[in-house]
Amino acid sequence: MTHTFWGFQFGSSRLLDTSSYTFKNGISPRYATTVRIFPVLDALSSISVSREKSQVIAVGLQMNHETNEIRLLIADNHHVSQALLHHLNKVWRKLQSLSDRYAEHRVRTGRSENPQYQVVSPDIPIQVAALKVEIFRDVYLYSLQKQMRRVDKWFQRLGKFVRALLERRGPSNLDDFEQNLSDTVIVLLIALKLVCKLRDNPETPLTDTEWAVVCSHSMAANENVGGLLADRNESGCEILAEELKDDFHTGNPPEAFALRRALVKLTALPQHIETLFGFAHSPRLRPALQYSMSIVGVPGRCRNAELPSKQAGWAQFLKTIWGEEHRWHKNVAWELAGKKWFAAQKYMCMIHCECKLIHYLETSHASRWDNVARFPYLGVSKLSCGACRIWISSFNELGGRQYYTRGSHDKWYWPWGMPIMGPALDKVMDKMMAKEVLLAYISHERTSGRLRAESESTGVSLLGAQHRPSKGQLKQVKANTLALRRAFGGDLLLLARSEFPGA
């Protein structure tokens, strides 16, 4: 993704409503079990991201219940590295070991045959703590560059927001939401200080004890953030940010701090790791970790595109797309020809990972897996772009196999390439894509006021797995945060001013 049309985005996020579909070819015929694998696939895709930016990963799933085999298919917007395949293999093996330990614990405690645990997962044994920290460390280290980009962008700003809150209210006058927020920042501070130490001194790795602290504090922060995001019908973050806009804001003109986004971004990686812990703990999802697993990297693909070089060419292009000529086409064609948006005439367009993955799944490879059913949900590390959403939707309308991702942010990126599915199918898909892109563009024109406006609705969000921190972890977190407060004489405002200085 080399360019985003920030000023000309067509819509807002659209999230998959799972209640509208029947998902087959999964771990279980039970719908409630099948949908639990969605956040697992999203988590696997997210922990596969190692670069700071411009990397998106998609994960597909095939399960052969006759031979007890499972296959993961990994696609990158660019190329799948051997390091990534090795990383996922290692994490999967450790998740299998974790699942085995949970199963052994259920047998020892007489819970393995209890039917209630096919509906609700049993309690988590404390004997698995070291293995969980090991998995946490492996994932965190692989994604460290991406995580540090989030930390550098959001944590100081979040801390300064809480400092502004404390200066306005006073530490003793916080309500429950505000107290939970300030506690969460302290919990994160202890974990992220250790992570930053690792980033600044990579030749000196963290000790096992330090990784246990990072893990326990991250899990505790996950739990706190869940409550913060849900507060007041999921509007608590926005209410507080708007109230403090005069004290702490971003942008010009001033905008309320994106508190919700900051919390989500800072806990994104630990949340995905927690989802994988929940995956290993679940008796219902255990078959996936009992099967023999293989993993395949989808080859990189791209298409070449040549754009009009003159205003007349762009004007004809717009007329063809619209099916008629509009007065404003001339001005838009002039802007396009002036290379305001396009620096070159010829482009190599990478095919985005979710479309690339569907193309691979729909292509014969002279393999026994060609005849194994595909799970229709694809895990993606980022919401799909507008063009990918339209392409997947158009593909699903053909009446064959259906594919879904968790949703789309509906932003538009250039360059973007459409997979080559074969002459006959490409001809149909070209027409469908042109039609759907035009409808999206018309929606944009209505929004901009050049065409009559209409309303738009969106779907609902998917929920991830919950895997609460243990009592021992929470006890450690409480002791660490209390020690940090005591270092500042119990003065929370003094702590905030020291750790989050400046404007």
The parts of the chain modelled with pLDDT lower than 50 are 1-12, 119, 450-465
Residues 183-211: b if buried by 16+ CB within 10 A, e if exposed: bbbbbbbbbbebbeebeeeeeeebeeebb
Each domain of the chain, given as residue ranges in start order, spans 1-116+282-307+344-449, 122-277+472-502
Smallest Cα–Cα separation from 244: which of 152, 151, 167, 187? 167
- Kindly provide the residue ranges of all beta strands, DSSP E only, lying in 258-345, ordered along the sequence: 292-297, 302-306
Distance CA 104, CA 118 (A): 16
Q: What's the pLDDT at 1?
A: 40
Q: What's the pLDDT at 31?
A: 65
Q: List phi, psi (to 5°) of 323.
A: 85, 0
For residue 365, give both structure tokens: 């490879």
Q: What's the pLDDT at 411?
A: 83
Distance CA 137, CA 264 (A): 20
Q: What's the pLDDT at 110?
A: 73
Q: How many CA atoms lie within 13 A of 381 on its CB side?
A: 24
Q: What's the pLDDT at 313?
A: 86
Q: List phi, psi (to 5°) of 104.
A: -60, -40
Q: What's the pLDDT at 87?
A: 98
Q: What's the pLDDT at 453?
A: 37
Looking at 347-385, list the stretches that DSSP marks H as alpha helix, in order from N- to C-terminal side: 353-361
Q: Residue 7 gets which letter from DSSP?
A: G
Output the furthest CA–CA distance in the chain (Å, rounded). 77
pLDDT tens column, 353-362: 999 999 999 9
Distance CA 59, CA 46 (A): 9
Model's pTM, two decimal places? Answer: 0.85
Q: What's the pLDDT at 459?
A: 31
Q: What's the pLDDT at 107?
A: 85
Residues 6+ apart with CB under 8 A from 461: 15, 407
Q: What's the pLDDT at 390?
A: 86
